[in-house]
Amino acid sequence: MSVPCGIVSLAGVVVNNAIVLLDYVDLLKKRKRKKLGLEEGALLSIADTEQCVEQAGKTRLRPVLLTAITTILGLLPMAIGLNINFYTALSEFDAQIFFGGDNAAFWGPLSWTIIFGLTFATFLTLVIVPAMYQFLYKIKYKMSVFQININYFHAFTISPVPVLCFKLTSK
């Protein structure tokens, strides 16, 4: 039961990192448009977008890594089942440190789920998300060059399956 809880708690951190990264890319693109004197909805060139994605990745690298590392290091004692008796540590100066115990059965799987999930998700956030953003932007940019004009289509009624033909016009 603790593994699904770990996956749910992991989702918040992962989604937040990706949203902040892409929001920063959009902010840099907005600044670039303003610098170039383009209107709000205008598409930037692929090279300008690559610069914005690269700069956002460099800027967000440290916060994403620090968040992941501190979370992993904080969960490591729970994952290995480290127990410290703070009551006796403060009253009798005997911490009674030991590994395992009853709580390790619940907290161990939860912690390992978050640790490995966060490690994988950090890679996704820093490598795959910017790459996919750039890939989809290139497709969007190339599709804007060849604008599909639906006013010039016709269906061939000779074949049993109508084939729609679109006239491609370039800007």
Q: What is the pLDDT of residues 47-99, one digit of tens each?
A: 999 999 999 999 999 999 999 999 999 999 999 998 888 889 899 998 888 88
Cβ atoms of 132 and 21 within 8 Å: the answer is no
Cβ atoms of 88 and 98 within 8 Å: the answer is no
pLDDT number for residue 137? 92
pLDDT number for residue 130? 95
Q: Does the reported pTM lie above 0.75?
A: no
Quote the CA–CA distance of 48 and 53 in Å, as a whole number.
9
User: Domain ranges in the chain?
Assistant: 2-146
The architecture (CATH level 2) of 2-146 comes to: Up-down Bundle (1.20)
